[in-house]
Structure 1
Amino acid sequence: MDQMRMPAPLSMPPPVSHPDMGHNPNPAPQMTLAALAPVPQPRPVPVVQPPIAFQVPRKRINNPSDIEHFHKSEAGKIFLGFIAGLSASMEGKKLSDYCRESPLIKTLCNILEEMSSWIDQLPPKQQPARYGNPVFREWQTWLEERGPGLMVRILPEDLKEGVVELFPYFADSFGNATRIDYGTGHETNFAAWLLCLARLGLVNEDDYQALVARVFVKYLDLMRKLQTTYWLEPAGSHGVWGLDDYHFLPFIFGSAQLKDHKYMKPKSIHNADILENFSHEYLYLGCVQFVKKVKKGVLAEHSPIIDDISAVATWNKVNSGMLKMYKAEVLEKVPIMQHFLFGSLIKW
């Protein structure tokens, strides 16, 4: 997590830049195309009508033409629209603001808290290498053994067969046991799992704020605990030229929270008092504070992309740029999306 690191598995070339936000004097053609792309917009999630032929989801993306197929498909448009919808639900909202918490939302939060308690029962072993504590594999074994039962707690009686389709998304949301790593592809699978719940009609747009402010926040807390307890290797990290070693979505949701904020501007991330006092309320500030805690040195040196974005005039522009950047740097990258799963709920 600090500047000197072992080479990341699934390593990728440095991103061309961040569309619509930074100040690259020589923008690559890809970056220019990304900047010209339309801002992803919220899109309703159609509920699957019964009978549902659940299936074990599998990987389908192997090359750039598969990526293109995904983004042209209904499933690709629904997924990106779902992310944009979650972002829109957080506009101008603090994490502590009231939101409707259905019984299912509370169950999801309880499940993530329970998984966090497993870490306390599986302390890391002393080892010479900083990254990749093997006890993480034991935690993953617990997930494989107990996870299907957790899915049963979520699904109503008439949808219990859906465990075979839901659990693979969930299982791949918390990192890889073999490589002891975690990255934006795993985070994307968690978002896909939430989309599956929406496709089944178990959550709807009225729940989006709670999905971010309650469920995703619990997920983020759990992942940070896993990262710092077992020192997970960043999967597919851009290193110093990445936005963040592990996460992307909290920057999208967090910039939406700060849209039109009276006092806090993108440059406010350099104010230590603001980070200290508001990082628990705003995901973006929480991300910056976490990066500053786990990386040594000056922000501009270890996280130049985050530093560069702080020069953007408005959070509106940061948020629209983040949505474009997520599509360009995560959803259009074969090394990340080759692990994405397709079944009856997210169709290929």
Structure 2
Amino acid sequence: MSDLNANPDHDLNHESSPSAPTPPSSAATCRNCGGPTCRPSPPTPAPWTEVSPPPAYRPIRAPAINAPMNTASIILAPVPQPLPVPVATPPYNFQVPSKRITSVDDIRHFNESPSGRHFLGFVASLSHSVRSRKLSDPLPIPLSAVLTSLISLLQTLSDWIDQIPPLPQQARYGNPAYRLWHERLAAQTPSLLKPVLSTADLQTAEVELVPYLLDSFGNATRIDYGTGHETNFAAFLYCLACLNLIKEEDYPGVVTRVFITYLDLMRKLQATYLLEPAGSHGVWGLDDYHFVPFIFGSAQLIDHKYMKPKSIHNPDILENFSNEYMYLACVSFVKKAKKGVFAEHSPMLDDISGVAQWTKVNSGLLKMYKAEVLEKVPIMQHFLFGSLIKWE
């Protein structure tokens, strides 16, 4: 500090010294030599006013949000309970369903409405129907003609994949051959639905059911698939229940025969056409594509004598029992699809494995499904409303 004060060039109080240069004016002076310039000074911009406010900043593309979910609010939320599906009665007023959700307020309105509560209650009822039940267990009642027709429909869609092979490409996701598969789906869905809508008075329901079914298998433009599409398939099943084509005694068959066939079809579509995850939560989600099978799969394992949530870390258990329990099959699929340390690429599943009982896992997943799927605008903005799932 003494050297600095001794040097007049560094004296902080030498402003009156004649040797001190006068700072150049910012107006019409050269920044290098201090002399005048021939270029006029730039005009001072007018201040922003209420009449002309500054433009709002909008990024070209919104960044992906991989923030962790609000775990505390999910824990404190009530567990969704099974509810009976309200059955529609003639005269029917079927209509082309449309999108209605655009904001958080719309989300709240839907989830508090009778349609929102009964739809979530339907998912909870399906989950409850397969408690402690393996996929190979005999059904309480034989498969109905409607469920048999649904399985046949899904098998037909699976056969189409074999007939439409993927095209050569370099991209990691999105094989264009999927669009050909989806074009055939759009063209033939009405005829595929006819065996499901068995009676003449229900044939007109096709106009309302087709959009739900089309949206159940991914988006042909983006060549992607996610939990919103999966929710559309659940909505399609819910509509069939509203029409009394699926009854409560059919629920075990819906999960262990129909939904498992749908899940197998989607795995085949994902693997063949490299569907991109739609709106993936990344490491903060259960799976890049699915949520509902984790709910049903955890219900299957409730009260199991030997297998606990931590059993997902046992390779032998996954290999030997994935064909019987949906949850184990989902974890096995994730481990094959993602490389590296499980706790790093799937921290949510790893955290769940530390829960002591499957009942807690199942109730937690039902609450998480409501919070992370049914209450998210980016997902539910594509959800459809008609005469069966009403916007009330």
What interval of TM-score do these two structures reach, taking the shorter chain for normalisation? Answer: over 0.9
Supply the AA of the counterpart residue of 1:166.
L
Report the equivalent of 2:307.
264
Which of residues 56, 64, 67 is equivalent to 2:104? Answer: 64
Q: Distance in 1 between matches of 2:307 and 2:67?
A: 28
1:244 maps onto 2:287 in alignment? yes
Report the equivalent of 1:290.
333
Q: Is 1:11–1:237's contact at 8 Å kept on the other side of the alignment?
A: no
Which of residues 361, 376, 380 is equivalent to 1:337? Answer: 380
- State the Cα distance separating 1:308 from its structure 2 match: 1.2
1:226 maps onto 2:269 in alignment? yes
Report the equivalent of 1:122.
164
- State the Cα distance separating 1:15 from its structure 2 match: 5.0
Which of residues 138, 144, 158 is equivalent to 2:201? Answer: 158
Q: Is 1:125–1:135's contact at 8 Å kept on the other side of the alignment?
A: yes
1:301 maps onto 2:344 in alignment? yes
Report the equivalent of 1:24.
none
Q: Is 1:55–1:343's contact at 8 Å kept on the other side of the alignment?
A: yes
Q: Distance in 2 between matches of 1:167 and 1:320?
A: 32
Q: Distance in 2 between matches of 1:110 and 1:214?
A: 11
Report the equivalent of 2:66.
14
Report the equivalent of 2:191.
149
**How big is each residue's C-alpha offset from its partner over 1:190-241, in whole Å with a ceiling of 9 and x where there is no partner?**
0000000000000111000100000000000000000000000000101122
Structure number with higher relative contact order (C-alpha < 8 Å, ≥ 6 residues apart): 1
**How big is each residue's C-alpha offset from its partner over 1:26-73, in whole Å with a ceiling of 9 and x where there is no partner?**
xxxx43222111000000001101010000000000000000000110
Report the equivalent of 2:180.
138
Which of residues 129, 133, 141 is equivalent to 1:89? Answer: 129
Supply the AA of the counterpart residue of 2:261.
K
Q: Is 1:11–1:238's contact at 8 Å kept on the other side of the alignment?
A: no
Larger Rg: 2
Report the equivalent of 1:21.
none
Residues 191-202 of structure 1 correspond to what in structure 2 (within 5 A)? Answer: 191-202=234-245
Q: Is 1:40–1:84's contact at 8 Å kept on the other side of the alignment?
A: yes
- State the Cα distance separating 1:10 from its structure 2 match: 9.2
Report the equivalent of 1:111.
153
SS at match of 1:153: coil
Q: Is 2:146–2:195's contact at 8 Å kept on the other side of the alignment?
A: no
Q: TM-score, structure 1 length as denominator?
A: 0.92
Q: Distance in 1 between matches of 2:99 and 2:158?
A: 28
Report the equivalent of 1:23.
none
Aligned positions, number: 328
Q: What is the percent sequence identity of the aligned residues?
A: 66
Q: Distance in 2 between matches of 1:84 and 1:229?
A: 31
Q: Distance in 1 between matches of 2:230 and 2:152?
A: 19
- State the Cα distance separating 1:283 from its structure 2 match: 0.3
Q: TM-score, structure 2 length as denominator?
A: 0.82
Task: Specify whether residues 246 and 328 from structure 1 end up closer, same or farther in structure 2 by C-alpha distance, changes over 3 A only.
Answer: same
Supply the AA of the counterpart residue of 1:128.
Q
Report the equivalent of 1:44.
84
SS at match of 1:78: helix
More divergent stretch after superposition (147-156 vs 129-138): 147-156
SS at match of 2:194: helix
Q: Distance in 2 between matches of 1:242 and 1:315?
A: 19
Task: Specify whether residues 74 and 106 from structure 1 end up closer, same or farther in structure 2 by C-alpha distance, changes over 3 A only.
Answer: same
Q: Structure 2: which 5+ residue stretches go unaligned?
A: 1-60
SS at match of 1:87: helix
Which of residues 73, 80, 84 is equivalent to 2:120? Answer: 80
Q: Distance in 1 between matches of 2:112 and 2:378?
A: 19
Q: Distance in 2 between matches of 1:151 and 1:11?
A: 40
Q: Distance in 1 between matches of 2:280 and 2:62?
A: 8
